Structure 1
Amino acid sequence: MATRELAGIHHVKIPVTDLARTAQWYRQVFGLCPTMEFREADGVVRGFVGEIPGLAPTQVAFRVNDVAAAGSRGFDPVSFAVKSRDDLETWVEHLDSLGIEHSPVIEASVGWLLVFDDPDGVTLHLYTWAEHGIDQADKPGYGQAITDPDRWQPI
């Protein structure tokens, strides 16, 4: 029997209400380069996909969907990785220069975290690969290690 294997994440899709605003914002914040558009039968473009430096080969797609965008407000569907806390500090400076509100650098479950919202209120995370070594397991909402994955059940 062949082993079932994944080969990464092809793309992440984020619902939006305004493609032009979204494209401009993601270009300013992340350096997004649009690579493909999705034109409907009526000729209107209602979605696009693009590349963000540092994410290749994973791409980010955006699709107009007012209901899904409203339902995603305040939710964090994706955490983009950065290497270190110093990299997060560089992102803080960048977001400040653009006037984008953000959290302070947070000591999250494993690494450091920076949180901010896109124009539709979708919450985005920048999370470090570098670990801080602080045990947060006793704090509500923070991660705890699963010691026996085969027997784990959500309560």
Structure 2
Amino acid sequence: MAFPGLQHVAITVTDLERSTRWYTALFGAEPVLDEDEQDGRFHHTVFVLEGGQLFGLHTHQGRESGDAFDERRTGLDHVGFAVGSVAELEQWQARLDELGVEHGGVKRAGYGVGLSFRDPDNIALELFTGPE
């Protein structure tokens, strides 16, 4: 039996309103869900991405830290989004420039080509395609 692919990713953010605005601009789409869960102990906002995958933003009551994300700590390193070609990566680079999102430019490696950037909580994101 093959292991299934990812269906959704949910990240915890420090300021849900700020992150919702930022991801709405990045995705070019409004969230499909924005609600409290578990008696108000956490709130989530969910976007539907291409292919039906979901991307969620969470805030939790009583969270212990508002520290910025750091991929050097145990846990998530980054979230990668698939694109179909280097040309598409270059289009995304122009889109990030339009949005004022700092990025590392299109970088080539033996295993593929990527474009890395960060969200308002410093969470590392990447647009990626296979090798040229």
Assess same fold via TM > 0.5: yes
Distance in 2 (CA, whole Å) between partners of 1:118 and 1:124 is: 7
Identity over aligned pairs, percent: 34
Cα offset for 1:87?
0.6
Q: Deviations over 1:85-105 (max 9, x none)?
A: 111110111111111110021
Distance in 2 (CA, whole Å) between partners of 1:91 and 1:67 is: 35
Cα offset for 1:33?
2.9
Q: Retained in 2: the 8 A contact 1:115–1:126?
A: yes
In structure 2, the residue matched to 1:145 is none
Q: Retained in 1: the 8 A contact 2:42–2:58?
A: no
> Larger Cα Rg: Structure 1 or Structure 2?
1
In structure 2, the residue matched to 1:8 is 5
After superposition, the CA RMSD in angstroms is 2.4
Secondary structure (helix, strand or coil) at the match of 2:94 reads: helix
Distance 1:33 1:108, change over 3 A: farther
Structure 2: any 5+ residue segments left out of the alignment?
none
Distance in 1 (CA, whole Å) between partners of 2:3 and 2:42 is: 31
1:31 equivalent in alignment to 2:32: no
Mapping 1:34-113, distance limit 5 Å: 34-40=31-37, 41-42=39-40, 46-52=43-49, 54=50, 56-65=51-60, 70=67, 72-74=69-71, 76-113=77-114
- The 10-residue stretch of structure 1 (66-75 or 14-23) with the greater mean CA deviation from structure 2: 66-75
In structure 1, the residue matched to 2:127 is 126
Distance 1:91 1:19, change over 3 A: same
Secondary structure (helix, strand or coil) at the match of 2:104 reads: coil
Structure-1-length-normalised TM-score: 0.69
Structure-2-length-normalised TM-score: 0.80
Structure 1: any 5+ residue segments left out of the alignment?
133-155
Tell me which protein shows more strand as a share of its residues. 2
Q: Deviations over 1:64-123 (max 9, x none)?
A: 155576363346431001111111110111111111110021113411110000011001
- The 10-residue stretch of structure 1 (101-110 or 115-124) with the greater mean CA deviation from structure 2: 101-110
